[in-house]
Protein backbone atom coordinates (compact mmCIF):
# COMPACT_ATOMS: atom_id res chain seq x y z
CA UNK A 1 0.00 0.00 0.00
CA UNK A 2 2.86 2.35 0.80
CA UNK A 3 4.38 1.96 -2.68
CA UNK A 4 1.14 3.09 -4.34
CA UNK A 5 0.98 6.23 -2.24
CA UNK A 6 4.71 6.89 -2.66
CA UNK A 7 4.22 6.79 -6.42
CA UNK A 8 1.26 9.20 -6.12
CA UNK A 9 3.38 11.62 -4.12
CA UNK A 10 6.18 11.52 -6.68
CA UNK A 11 3.73 11.89 -9.57
CA UNK A 12 1.75 14.77 -8.10
CA UNK A 13 4.79 16.72 -6.93
CA UNK A 14 6.54 16.34 -10.27
CA UNK A 15 3.57 17.13 -12.49
CA UNK A 16 2.30 19.90 -10.21
CA UNK A 17 5.71 21.57 -10.27
CA UNK A 18 5.96 21.28 -14.05
CA UNK A 19 2.46 22.68 -14.44
CA UNK A 20 3.26 25.71 -12.29
CA UNK A 21 6.54 26.19 -14.11
CA UNK A 22 5.04 26.23 -17.62
CA UNK A 23 1.48 27.48 -17.15
CA UNK A 24 2.37 31.14 -17.63
CA UNK A 25 3.74 30.33 -21.09
CA UNK A 26 0.42 28.86 -22.25
CA UNK A 27 -1.18 31.00 -24.94
CA UNK A 28 -3.92 28.75 -26.22
CA UNK A 29 -7.50 29.31 -27.10
CA UNK A 30 -8.93 26.25 -25.40
CA UNK A 31 -10.68 27.29 -22.19
CA UNK A 32 -10.73 23.72 -20.82
CA UNK A 33 -6.96 23.38 -21.17
CA UNK A 34 -6.45 26.75 -19.49
CA UNK A 35 -8.72 25.77 -16.58
CA UNK A 36 -6.90 22.44 -16.25
CA UNK A 37 -3.44 24.02 -16.28
CA UNK A 38 -4.31 26.58 -13.62
CA UNK A 39 -6.33 24.19 -11.40
CA UNK A 40 -4.07 21.16 -11.58
CA UNK A 41 -1.62 22.33 -8.89
CA UNK A 42 -4.51 22.48 -6.38
CA UNK A 43 -5.58 18.99 -7.42
CA UNK A 44 -2.00 17.72 -7.15
CA UNK A 45 -1.54 19.36 -3.75
CA UNK A 46 -4.62 17.71 -2.28
CA UNK A 47 -3.84 14.30 -3.72
CA UNK A 48 -0.16 14.48 -2.77
CA UNK A 49 -0.50 15.78 0.79
CA UNK A 50 -3.20 13.28 1.69
CA UNK A 51 -1.13 10.46 0.18
CA UNK A 52 1.85 11.57 2.24
CA UNK A 53 -0.25 11.61 5.40
CA UNK A 54 -1.65 8.16 4.55
CA UNK A 55 1.83 6.66 4.43
CA UNK A 56 2.51 7.69 8.03
CA UNK A 57 -0.87 6.69 9.44
CA UNK A 58 -2.32 3.31 10.28
CA UNK A 59 -4.98 2.05 7.84
CA UNK A 60 -7.93 2.92 10.08
CA UNK A 61 -10.14 4.85 7.71
CA UNK A 62 -12.45 6.60 10.20
CA UNK A 63 -9.62 7.95 12.34
CA UNK A 64 -7.72 9.08 9.28
CA UNK A 65 -10.74 11.01 8.02
CA UNK A 66 -11.27 12.77 11.33
CA UNK A 67 -7.62 13.56 12.01
CA UNK A 68 -6.32 14.43 8.58
CA UNK A 69 -8.69 14.53 5.61
CA UNK A 70 -11.28 16.92 6.99
CA UNK A 71 -8.79 19.44 8.50
CA UNK A 72 -6.48 19.41 5.46
CA UNK A 73 -9.38 19.87 3.04
CA UNK A 74 -11.03 22.57 5.17
CA UNK A 75 -7.74 24.43 5.59
CA UNK A 76 -7.03 24.28 1.87
CA UNK A 77 -10.47 25.60 0.95
CA UNK A 78 -10.24 28.35 3.58
CA UNK A 79 -6.86 29.36 2.19
CA UNK A 80 -8.36 29.63 -1.30
CA UNK A 81 -11.32 31.66 -0.01
CA UNK A 82 -8.99 33.88 2.02
CA UNK A 83 -7.31 34.89 -1.24
CA UNK A 84 -10.55 36.67 -2.18
CA UNK A 85 -9.92 39.23 0.57
CA UNK A 86 -6.15 38.94 0.82
CA UNK A 87 -3.31 39.56 -1.55
CA UNK A 88 -3.84 36.45 -3.68
CA UNK A 89 -6.16 35.84 -6.59
CA UNK A 90 -9.26 33.80 -5.77
CA UNK A 91 -10.19 31.27 -8.42
CA UNK A 92 -13.18 29.00 -7.95
CA UNK A 93 -11.50 26.47 -10.26
CA UNK A 94 -8.83 25.97 -7.59
CA UNK A 95 -11.58 24.97 -5.16
CA UNK A 96 -12.92 22.53 -7.76
CA UNK A 97 -9.38 21.17 -8.18
CA UNK A 98 -9.19 20.58 -4.41
CA UNK A 99 -12.56 18.80 -4.40
CA UNK A 100 -11.60 16.59 -7.34
CA UNK A 101 -8.25 15.79 -5.69
CA UNK A 102 -10.10 14.81 -2.51
CA UNK A 103 -12.49 12.57 -4.46
CA UNK A 104 -9.60 10.88 -6.29
CA UNK A 105 -7.77 10.29 -3.03
CA UNK A 106 -10.87 8.89 -1.33
CA UNK A 107 -11.43 6.46 -4.21
CA UNK A 108 -7.81 5.30 -4.22
CA UNK A 109 -7.74 5.06 -0.44
CA UNK A 110 -10.97 3.07 -0.35
CA UNK A 111 -9.64 0.57 -2.91
CA UNK A 112 -6.31 0.29 -1.06
CA UNK A 113 -8.03 -0.33 2.27
CA UNK A 114 -10.30 -2.89 0.64
CA UNK A 115 -7.29 -4.69 -0.82
CA UNK A 116 -5.42 -4.45 2.50
CA UNK A 117 -8.36 -6.05 4.35
CA UNK A 118 -8.47 -8.94 1.86
CA UNK A 119 -4.71 -9.51 2.16
CA UNK A 120 -4.72 -9.46 5.96
CA UNK A 121 -7.76 -11.73 6.30
CA UNK A 122 -6.14 -14.54 4.27
Could you give the CA distance from residue 114 to residue 50 in angstroms, rounded to a whole number? 18
State how many domains the chain has: 1
Residue 57 pLDDT more than 90? no
Q: What is the pLDDT of residues 65-79, one digit of tens each?
A: 777 888 899 999 999
Q: Which residues contact 39 (CB under 8 A, 6 or more apart)?
A: 91, 93, 94, 96, 97
Q: What is the pLDDT of residues 6-43, one digit of tens each?
A: 888 888 888 888 888 877 777 777 778 778 888 888 88
Strand locations in 42-108 (E): none
Could you give the CA distance from residue 8 to residue 13 in angstroms, rounded to a whole number? 8
**Which residues span the domain enclosing 27?**
2-121
Return the pLDDT at 60.
60
Could you give the CA distance from residue 112 to residue 83 in angstroms, rounded to a whole number? 35
Amino acid sequence: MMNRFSFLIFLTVTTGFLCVLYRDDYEGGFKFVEIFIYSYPSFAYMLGILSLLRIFHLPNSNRFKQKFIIPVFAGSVLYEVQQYWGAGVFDVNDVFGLVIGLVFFMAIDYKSLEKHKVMTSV
